[in-house]
Amino acid sequence: MIFMKWSESLLFFVFVLILFVMVLPAFAEEATINLPSLNPSPSIEVSPTGLPQMETGEQLPLFDNPNQNIYKDPQGKFTITFPQGTTQGPSPDNDIVTFILPGQAKAYIPVLPSPEEVLDAFGDIEDDVLGQGGTKIGQSTVQAGSQSVLITLYGMEGGALSKMTGEQFTTGITYALLMVQYPGTNLLVLLILPKDTYKNAQPWILETLKGVVFQ
């Protein structure tokens, strides 16, 4: 009697063990979470130190250069736009803004607060040009909207021009100097370029001078 009860208990234990062995692995397999591989993708290069590297010749987009062909008066009275390709250059004086233009041309804009100071600066520059051997060639007036533009043309040798301005100009060639006034405003522009390039430069010079916007 006791043997039979023990046999029944043994059979029940064996049945439970077989069930546990068969069912548990399947349950464990369903409950397993697969983690991503820790190995990097073959397309990604790993650098032990420093920044990740790029293959030679692979280019990044270039940042746009800041627009340097537009000058705005510090007082907000006018804006002048030079041709594309213009860059701002070093200035010989803190009160003068310099631009390097196409065709070996340079533009100088004195920072002047009033029309009266424009007249004084014009007289001083003209005295320097004529005193250093420059020649006054002619004068003309053009219209920029309702604003008249007074243009005075001078000729000057490069060596004398270098001495007068402290800038570098080629000795032995003649330069055209344009002194440009906008009567009643605080704007004065001095354009300097080689005489031989002056004729072809006239279209963009006129476009620039007529395109000044006054506030």
Q: Assess whether pLDDT exceeds 70 at residue 63.
A: no
CATH number of the domain residue 183 falls in:
3.40.1000.10
Residue 45 lies in a domain: no
Residue 38 lies in a domain: no
Listed in sequence order, the residues at least 6 apart from 214 whose beta carbon sits closer than 8 Å to its beta carbon are 77, 78, 147, 182, 185
Residue 178 lies in a domain: yes
pLDDT digits (tens, 9 = 90+) for 173-199: 999 999 999 999 999 999 999 999 999
Listed in sequence order, the residues at least 6 apart from 127 whose beta carbon sits closer than 8 Å to its beta carbon are none
Q: What is the pLDDT of residue 144?
A: 86
Give the lowest-confidence range in 20-29, 135-144, 147-156: 20-29
| Residue of 205 and 23 predicted with greater confidence | 205
| Residue of 51 and 114 predicted with greater confidence | 114
What domain range is 110 assigned to?
A: 70-214
| Residue of 154 and 62 predicted with greater confidence | 154
Distance CA 187, CA 207 (A): 16
pLDDT digits (tens, 9 = 90+) for 78-112: 999 999 889 988 877 778 999 999 889 999 999 99
Residue 201 lies in a domain: yes
CA distances from 175 to 84, 105, 136, 171, 214 (A): 22, 10, 12, 10, 29
| Count of the separate structural domains present in the chain | 1
191, 180 contact by CB (below 8 A): yes
Residue 176 lies in a domain: yes
Query: Exposed, middle or buried, 86 (CB in 10 Å: 0-12/13-18/19+)?
Result: buried
Q: What is the pLDDT of residue 49?
A: 47
- List, in sequence order, every residue forming a beta bridge with 191; answer none if it has no partner: 107, 178
Q: What is the pLDDT of residue 22?
A: 57
Torsion-angle region of 159 (φ positive above 0: left; ψ -120 to 50: alpha; else: beta): alpha
% of residues, the chain, pLDDT over 70: 69
Rounded mean pLDDT of the chain? 79
